[in-house]
Structure 1
Amino acid sequence: MDNAIHGGQAIVDSLQLHGVSRAYVVPGESYLSVLDGLYNTEIQTVVCRHEAACTYMADAHGKFTGTPGIAMVTRGPGAAQAYTGVHTAWQDGVPLILFVGLIPVSDRNRESFQEFDLNQWFSSQCKRVLILDEVSRASEIVAKAFHAALEGRPGPVVVGLPEDIIRQEFHGQLHPVIPVAEGGVDDDRLNSILNALSNAAKPLVFAGGQNWTAEASKQLTQFAEANHLPVIHDWRASDRVAFDSPANAGYLGYGRSDECAALIEAADVLLTLGTVLGDVASDGYRLRQSFEKPNYIVNLDTSLRGHSGSVTEHIVASPISFIKALSRASLPSSESRNAWFKHCHQQQRKDCDLSKKESESVGAGQLYADMTQVIREVAALLPADAVYSFGAGNHCLWAQRYLPTHTFPSQLSTRNGAMGYSLPAGIVAALESPERLSVVVTGDGEFMMNEAELSTSIRYQAPVLIILMDNQQFGTIRQHQEANYPDRVSGTQLHNPDFAALANAFGAHGIRVDNDRDIKMSVAEAMQVVTKERKSVLLHVITDPGKLVP
């Protein structure tokens, strides 16, 4: 580079070189040089209200786009509050890069203001921790962070930026992008899997994880439908095959039906794409644990971290490259496979059928509004390409089971049970694809962990439709409490504000629904405001505290 720039500018220029269009930040004096570099750049700086929300947004960006989400926070307390988002990306296998401003190098090991050890804090929950100690390596560090976040099983990378180093002049060249291998499928291994599927009476595909694209999802759907191959989804990954596709066999994990659990046990061949049969999907290492049952696994992670059960064959490839090869083949017709295919989809249709769900609200809907009816009315008005986000809590069961996913990506959630995720993720969807409707399903406890990000939605014109289930409790914990300590409710009850009024105070449009009669009208109003006026809407649904599941 002809003209000297400071290290912070070199970081920003390198981000641009890697195609970054948006960075999620909570500002701090420790990385002012990077903020200065963002001043006149094409990268949009989205200023968040909390570091956890900042890293949640970066995680949602990674899930939604397949490219690393960028978060920036300051040292000490800032890094501590960002940790939960890093843990989320680590357990979900999501590409994310967290930049953390650090104390000056000369202040190290002196218990200086906000000093901490970046390596000790984050090394167990990310793929790499990189610390910039020479300004000449600023661009190289960015390139290595991107490569580490994307190679193999994707995941978070944490980059430390000492404030004195990034202020220094940078005279080097920008480091080029380091290519990431997608893996490959040789003919022998592909034929081995095709033969296993062809000879199986009850084959099943288990799909999830990262390294997917809309095209890969479409190719899998077409192959599965043409060859009568049912696809069951990993938890919080129900958008790989369309909701109404005859190949859709439902999902595993918390809230799954007994029929779906029975499918993975009954399958005589299981082909796992992009994910592994881990703790949640296997019901705590109980489903499909027999080593006699064949499991073919397609995953870029050579270690198969988190997998339980047998491994018949492991193909080191991404779903993208494997499905591309698979889609060129076909399976011979089989009456037994055809019958199994229909049976699997029937179970999914039965599980997600809203038409026969009647209101169970107290007093014929006079005291509370029925969440199932709310979701039914919302689903009836949704565009086919709507995007849904939800975090953790019993309210997620309604979203997971009933909201139709027709295209990839259309479901953003967490697999580590992180609360406060739904609204930040919904904002990301609205920013990345403003032409699609972003629907946030949340609960009173979950929403209040990051409710301040509603102001972020307003400021950056990222309208979302928020469906807030208010039962004045941490419902999931209450459910466990009732199972283990019946009739001894303790430490799970909440006192809530008027959420509709709170939304109005932020500049959004709040609607309170506390009876069944008003549901249809209120949902219609909400859809009108969010789609026509392009304004965030919060639908405050007062529900029966005793009704914890659909």
Structure 2
Amino acid sequence: MEQQPASSDQSTQETTSAGHMIVRSLEAHGVERVFVVPGESFLDVLDGLHDTSIQTVVCRHEGGAAYMAEAMGKLKQVPGVAMVTRGPGAANAHVGLHTAWQDSTAMVLFVGLIPFEHREKEAFQEFDPKAWFESGAKRVMVLDHPDRASEIVAEAMFAAQSGRPGPVVVGLPEDILREAHDTIVHPPIPIATGGMTVTDWKALKAALLRAERPLFVFGGNDWDDATAQKFTAWLEAHSLPAAAEWRCEGTVPFGSPSYVGPLGYGRPTFTHEVLGESDLLVFVGTVPGDVVTDGFTVRQNWDKENFIVTIDPSLRGRSGPVTQQIVAKPESFVRDLARMDLPVADSWKAWTSDLRAKQEEFAQLPSAEPGEGQAQMATLMANLVERLDEDAMVTFGAGEHTNWAHRYFPTNGYASLISARNGSMGYSVPSAVAAALLYPGRQVVSIAGDGEFLMNGQELATAAQYGAAPLVVVMDNQEYGTIRTHQEAQYPERISGTQLKNPDFAKLAEAYGGFGVRVEHDADVPAAVQDALAAVADGRFALIHLIVDQRVKAY
């Protein structure tokens, strides 16, 4: 993975506080913004951020700040950074850590702590960061001396990115932060990216030449645009198909002749069957986990060939047979793969063409002409997609509303779709705000459900404060729809604990300073989409509150 250059004065010793040195070190690692909910426990870090190139984004809830940092870790080749205070603040941020852990996202959470001298006395907001976080973070570190401030930042950024990416927690005792010490900025630590050995290369080549129905499965957050484009070009040159791990669409673009659809929950029938039909699976950047394999039930027969390309030697989360593991990050694997020129088999062409035709049929947009009666999500998607820019991106959290984006949103590049693969609700709005801040002027669309929106919708106030302008679509069916679906299957006609009564989200958006429109009738959908996108183009966030029928599903 590409490393950010350290500051030019990194070798110059200076006397400064530990809190200020942490900020200097984050700058040296290429951090552009941090997402914070302030606390008195890390005031010296906040003071250090006052005179820095790093943008301090003040959020409205620690969960929102952690989600924004996690989203930034997906979007950039630098870990996302959040800062919260001790006790309750750390507890609220835990949801973002779990997302980063299960999604393999490089992220660093800095947590202010009580002073050293107050430990083990049940001091105000005291907690043990290692006891709380060690089971769900790659490392938990506590700054114990001011001269280690820069070193601990370098170690945290390295740990978050090295091997399988993930979250790291750094505890910052309040008194240590204020202490001054003679120190230098620690340079970034290089990340090993692995690669194919000669044995790996020959084994994969032989397996591909044997296969009649090979399938590549891409996923994870350890890619970059150049690697994704090179991977796509190699697949297309060889008429080979590629499917997306759940909520990883875009690495191979939506319109590529090699892209054959998404895997995971809510998948179309043909991609469910393809895992069993393929005689060779090559997972790149991910493993065959429980979501892809339907709870470890699909592709479990050991006579199948599975190559798994991941930098994680433990293969954590995988199921089924492993023919060969290639220990490499996508960048190094694709670099070596691009040197493999193979004769294109007729069976590959036929297999890819058949799968691609099914994907194109599945993704065919419904009519943009509105019908009579209640507003339809299908009508909204048809009107939205035809107005999107080529580089538009989408974010969402968890719920049945996400299926509309999976099916129709044209993801045309790495990280053009970001979501929470741990099924975490409340991710849609914070991730959209983070993306809109990173890419001003780019169309960022968030598809949210009514239940999910109210978990972190207050971060629209953050969007307004910092000029972020995403378009948020709230699909309101007045229920927790996914749970209702499971409930209907297991307890028919006994609906309990899933129904909601919602406010007017459009008025809420206007109160936060954005554009809001409430849509109850399908005839009003086209104008609402047009007006919302116009507001976004003018630099305001927009929200479409779409009132839909509970019975209508994406597929």
Scaled by the length of structure 1, the TM-score of the pair is: 0.97
The separation in 1 between residues aligned to 2:13 and 2:224, in whole angstroms, is: 39
* One-letter code aligned to 1:377: N
Aligned-partner SS, 1:9? helix
Cα separation, 2, equivalents of 1:92 and 1:426: 17
Describe the SS at the equivalent of 2:183.
coil
Q: CA-to-partner distance for each residue in 1:311-368, whole Å, 9 max, x for gaps? A: 1111111111111111122221211111101011112112211247997xxxx632x2
Letter in 2 for 1:443: G
Q: Which residue of 2 aligns with 1:529?
A: 535
Q: d(CA) in 2 for partners of 1:38 and 1:461?
A: 20
Quote the Cα distance in structure 1 between the aligned partners of 2:553 and 2:86.
40
1:479 counterpart = 2:472: no
Q: How many residues are paired up?
A: 544
Shift of 1:524: 1.2
Which amino acid letter does the alignment assign opposite residue 62 of structure 2? E
- Aligned equivalent of 2:6: none
Deviation per CA, 1:377-415: give whole Å up to 9, x if none. Answer: 100100010010000011001011110001122001000
Q: Distance in 2 between matches of 1:455 and 1:60?
A: 18
Deviations 1:500-532 (A, max 9, x none): 11111111000111111111111111111212x
DSSP 3-state at the match of 1:449: helix
- State the SS of the aligned residue for 1:381: coil
Structure 2 counterpart SS, 1:38: helix
**Pairwise CA distance, 1:186:** 2.2
1:233 to 213, 219, 244: 244
Q: Is residue 411 of structure 2 the alignment partner of residue 405 of structure 1? A: yes
- Which deviates further from its counterpart, 81-90 or 167-176? 167-176
Q: Which runs of 5+ in 2 are unaligned?
A: 1-11
Task: Please give the residue correspondences for 1:104-143 in structure 2 after superposition, counting only pairs within 5 Å.
Answer: 104-143=115-154
Checking the alignment, whether the CA contact within 8 Å between 1:66 and 1:210 is kept in structure 2 is no
2:285 is aligned, of 252, 267, 274, to: 274
Equivalent residue for 1:174?
185
Sequence identity percentage: 48
Q: For residue 379 of structure 1, what is the aligned residue in structure 2?
A: 385
Please report the TM-score for the alignment, with normalisation by the length of structure 2.
Answer: 0.96
Cα distance in 2 between the residues matched to 1:44 and 1:130: 24
1:205 aligns with 2:216: yes
> Is the contact between residue 151 and residue 186 of structure 2 (CA under 8 Å) also seen in structure 1?
yes
> What does residue 22 of structure 1 align with?
33
Cα contact 2:392–2:443 (8 A) shared by 1: yes
Q: Distance in 2 between matches of 1:528 and 1:117?
A: 49
CA distance in 1, matches of 2:32, 2:346: 50
Aligned match for 2:372, one of 365, 376, 381: 365
- Number of the residue aligned with 2:269: 258
Residue pair 2:426, 2:454 contacting (<8 A) in 1 also: yes
Q: State the one-letter code of the partner of 1:401.
A: R
TM superposition shift of 1:191: 2.2
Q: Is the 8 A contact 2:38 2:83 kept in 1?
A: yes
Q: What code does the residue aligned with 2:309 have?
A: V
Residue 7 of structure 2: aligned partner? none
* Structure 1, 27-36 or 330-339: larger mean CA deviation: 330-339
Q: Secondary structure of the residue that 2:455 maps to in structure 1?
A: coil
Counterpart in the other structure of 1:350: 361
| Distance apart, 1:549 and its partner CA | 3.8
Post-superposition offset of 1:11: 0.5
- 1:59 equivalent in alignment to 2:64: no
Structure 2 match to 1:546: 551
Aligned to 1:288: 299
Alpha-carbon distance in 1 for matches of 2:528, 2:37: 35
Gaps of 5+ in 1: none
Task: State whether structure 2 residue 316 is matched by structure 1 residue 305.
Answer: yes
1:300–1:317 Cα contact (<8 Å) kept: yes
Deviation (angstroms), 1:100? 0.2
- The residue that corresponds to 2:87 in the other structure is 76
The one-letter amino acid of 2:545's match is H
One-letter amino acid of the structure 2 residue matched with residue 540 of structure 1: H
Aligned with residue 196 of structure 1, among 207, 215, 229: 207
Change (3 A) 1:392 1:266: same
Conserved 8 A contact 2:14-2:183: no
How far 1:261 sits from its partner (Å)? 1.1
Q: 1:336 aligns with which of 321, 332, 347?
A: 347
Give the Å deviation of 1:534. Answer: 1.5
2:461 corresponds to: 455
Give the C-alpha shift of residue 210 in structure 1. Answer: 2.1
Q: Secondary structure at the match of 1:394?
A: coil
In the alignment, is the contact (CA less than 8 A) between 2:366 and 2:378 conserved in 1? no
Q: Tell me how far apart the structure 2 counterparts of residues 395 and 355 of structure 1 sit (CA, whole Å).
A: 16
Q: Which residue of 1 aligns with 2:429?
A: 423
SS at match of 1:109: coil
Supply the AA of the counterpart residue of 2:372. Answer: G
Distance 2:459 2:85 in 1: 19
Q: Is the 8 A contact 2:368 2:382 kept in 1?
A: no
